[in-house]
A = this chain, B = another copy of it.
Amino acid sequence: MPKINRYVDISTIDREAKKDYIDRHSPFVHCESTAKKGEPFKVKVKMGNEYCHPDDFDHYIAYVQLWDGETLLAQTNWQPGAMGNQCAHAEVDFYIVPQKSKLKLTAMSYCTKHGLWESDPVEVTVED
Contact = CB atoms under 8 A, between A and B. Distances in A.
Contacts of A97: 55, 82-84, 86, 88
A96 interface: yes
Given A57-B58, A92-B95, A79 B74 contact: yes
Greatest chain B CB density within 10 A among A2, A73, A83 is at: A2
> What number of copies of this chain does the assembly contain?
4
Contacts of A118: 1
B76 A75 contact: yes
Q: How extensive is the interface on chain A, given as a class?
A: 35 or more
A93 B1 CA distance: 19
Interface of A: 1-4, 38, 40, 55-58, 62, 67, 69-86, 88-99, 106, 108, 110, 112, 114-116, 118, 121
Nearest to A114: B70
Contact of A70 (B75, B78, B116): B116
